[in-house]
Amino acid sequence: MTTQEEIRLAQALDRIVHWRRWGPYLSDRQWGTVREDYSHNGSAWDYFTHDQARSRAYRWGEDGIAGISDNHQRLCFAIALWNGEDAILKERIFGLTGNEGNHGEDVKEYYFYLDNTPTHSYMKMLYKYPQAAFPYSQLVAENQRRSREELEFELLDTGVFDDDRYFDVFVEYAKHSAEDILIQITVVNRGLEAKTLHVLPTLWFRNTWSWNGDDNKPILKEVKVSDTCNIIEASHLTLGMRWLYCQQATEVLFTENETNSQKLFGYSNTSAYVKDGINDYIVQGLKAAVNPDKIGTKAAANYILTVGAGETKIVKLRLSNTQNLVEPLGKDFDEIFNKRQQEAEEFYQRIVPHSLSEDMRNVQRQAFAGMLWSKQFYHYIVEDWLKGDGNAPSPPPERQNGRNQEWFHLYNEDILSMPDKWEYPWYAAWDLAFHTIPLAMIDPEFAKYQLDVLTREWYMHPNGQIPAYEWKFSDVNPPVHAWATWRIYQIEQKIYGRTDRQFLERVFQKLMLNFTWWVNRKDAKGNNVFQGGFLGLDNIGVFDRSAELPTGGHIDQSDGTSWMGMYCLNMLAIALELAKTNPVYEDIATKFFEHFLYIADAMNKIGEMEVSLWNKSDGFYYDVLHLNEQQITLKVRSMVGLIPLFAIETIEPETLKMLPGFKKRLEWFICNRPDLRQNVACMETTGIGARRLLAIASRDKLKSILQKMLDESEFFSSYGIRALSRFHAEHPYIFDVNGCQFRVDYEPAESSSGLFGGNSNWRGPIWFPVNFLLIESLQKFHSYLGNDFQLECPTGSGKMMTLREIALELSQRLMRIFLKNSSGKRPVYGATSKFQNDPHWQNLILFYEYFHGDNGAGIGASHQTGWTGLVANLIQECGEYKTQYHGQNNDEEKKAIALT
């Protein structure tokens, strides 16, 4: 039966009802971003600081706590809090800049995304607010004091949560209609004594009028006070009229979303009332800081709540396009909330009908919630940013030759999926591709839009390059977008029974341009061996692969070449699908087939003059350094040597039967180009079900690689595949250049190096995106090789497994990071007692950027649900597997039961 949420999604798709207009589109951090940086030297972190953010109007977006906005971010709503102790209002989430943290930028607050639906008909978030003064200075000072070899100093370490002296602040939204949003703020005092809390639900307009002389300035004003509520009217030229109905407040405060230039820069303000007016009124008691006429562009209802020990208090509001609502916060308010909550339950039960443990459902539900809460309005017009605004000082001349100046065409104004709305509040090209996989399960239209828009002319460079991220759009991320496009198409077909060939073809055509860019720009010698730079793997190599090498020369990259092999096969798979209804694509499929043969040949060939990326003696793939006439194999056992497994595709016999032209050309290559065929995994021998196989790694190479990958003393952690072999813990790789030593050591947690900022580490931790691709590759190899191909898993254990069983084992280890173990602990939280033992913390899930290679503890960005949200797909597959084998009295059922 179709759920109400699916009906809303269909109405949004058909443009009958604009259910997506309002959503959680506020950033968690707008300060410190490249967009807001108008410095002469590109020091974004220092140009616009957290301390300035309460007083300085943003140019390109807005931030807030648990906030929402419309899809063009004209009108925003979020909560602000004051505990009576802090020196400033808590209006935005705090963290350390990239220069302050001992491991790079790092959020220093505790907040959790608990629930959300694709149309945002129901949303729930939790923010934990200390009752003592927030230790801003202590967090900065202690983390700056610590070295890269030491752990980060966290908010829990300061003691402000001791004896549960904090408030749990739950923020919920329920849509009565697409333009009528109910808001409920629930405050719980977890402490042992009564405390007073100011709760300030805040409504404001993004400042769009100060930069280029826009005369159409919007207005907020108080229009009516009844016995039950205060009403703020919002008037905007394009958004129209909105009314915020506020449960009777102590007072309603108004100011302007304008920069306090007098405070920050020492020159006169353009307005008597400025952005930090409400802050100064509440915290400093400055009565003149707010407008007594109750008009402005920023307003907040002030609720002064005295909350007893263990007590709960609730504030209700309603943001609506309907004027003069009768009893806007009356009895139907709770009924609507209850109904939307029930509809959310029905929707997720429809998506995941399988029998799962309560804990697995909790983890998956919060993963979905994190994916949906991480949507953000992203606005960046590079031409305007480079030239400056008419009403603002001209940017420094250095800007014209600085960051992103070659991306003059880029015009971004969309709702996009962010990696982490605080640590990475900007889209990242390869992250975004992985985001679409869990998103496709619950909202395929939004997932498809992400890939579609990334390849449009206002994103993609005219030369075909996809923008990487705002810090440097010209950086190169792994080309995983064809893979994501193909997987979204398959997921939508599987779950919803729909095939969107128009989407498939549209994105495919644009990816053809991107593929050509790769071939023309990243193959230094034209020999089908690719470079590409760091390719998202940051510090994985002995050198910074994106910079000029200290040795000179260049590196032939095993991962760069393998990614291109994977790209070829993904494009081949799409072309074959499109060829089923349009024969023209048979020719294109043949082209990608041929190109893959050349890449696979180059990866595996051992010629007289060239060193192969495959090292026969080690049975592993490595990068090769070309230095004058010398070629040096860089024997670092890392993910670089596992990525060749990603380049695999099987072709079903039915496909070949439908496409005789392609089949004829394939067989011609097999017969006439033995020089290419010999270095590619077998194409002429049919596998299980008469499938054909295309892969870089042959059967023997696959076996050799997996023996290392499944060795627990090397890659195979109890929680997934490490990015670097543990072999290097006792055998670091060392390379001497002109008296300088470069080395790679096994580091299972944070990086001890400042390479790439030091907030990311590929020298030992576990990363979800590459683990997910390994699982898919194992499944594909199994579909060809079948049950007869078995390996020891773990290596040396004597326990033989098929590749499907190995894929299941790897999935189970990855899920283990988040699930409670036999002791009731979650490995993701390591030794953090509060998360492991406190009932108000232990079932709240954070989806970190990566995980400790030995104990599974979460590291890096704490809300990078983006690609770590892939755990939702793994849980889904686990449920499907259990359902498939339910009731069968065999080993498969035992494995399925063990998984759940």
CA distance 882 to 900: 8
Read off the DSSP letter of residue 42: -
Rounded to the nearest 5 percent, the helix, strand and coil shares of the chain are 35, 20, 40
Task: Report CA torsion sign: 147, 862, 748, 857.
Answer: positive
Q: What pLDDT is recorded for position 680?
A: 65
Residue 240, classed as helix, strand or coil, is strand
CA distance 116 to 23: 10
Q: How many CA atoms lie within 13 Å of 511's alpha carbon, on the beta-carbon side?
A: 27
Read off the DSSP letter of residue 683: S
Q: List alpha helices for 621-762, DSSP H.
A: 653-658, 660-672, 674-677, 699-709, 727-730
Q: What pLDDT is recorded for position 900?
A: 47
Residue stretches of the chain with pLDDT short of 50: 607-608, 897, 900
Position of tokens 């709760």? Answer: 199
Q: What pLDDT is recorded for position 603?
A: 85
Q: What are φ and ψ of residue 58, in 5° steps?
A: -80, 155
Q: What token pair was written down for 549?
A: 């090498």
Q: How many CA atoms lie within 13 Å of 834's alpha carbon, on the beta-carbon side?
A: 17
Q: What pLDDT is recorded for position 759?
A: 75
The residues with which 411 forms a beta bridge, in sequence order, are 381
Residue 739, classed as helix, strand or coil, is coil
Residue 242, classed as helix, strand or coil, is strand
Q: What pLDDT is recorded for position 113?
A: 98
The residues with which 116 forms a beta bridge, in sequence order, are 123
Q: How many CA atoms lie within 13 Å of 31's alpha carbon, on the beta-carbon side?
A: 22
Read off the DSSP letter of residue 638: B
Q: Using CB atoms within 10 Å of the CB of residue 252, give its burial: 0 to 12 exposed, 13 to 18 middle, 19+ buried.
A: buried
Contact 727, 776 (CB under 8 A): no
Q: Using CB atoms within 10 Å of the CB of residue 353, give its burial: 0 to 12 exposed, 13 to 18 middle, 19+ buried.
A: exposed
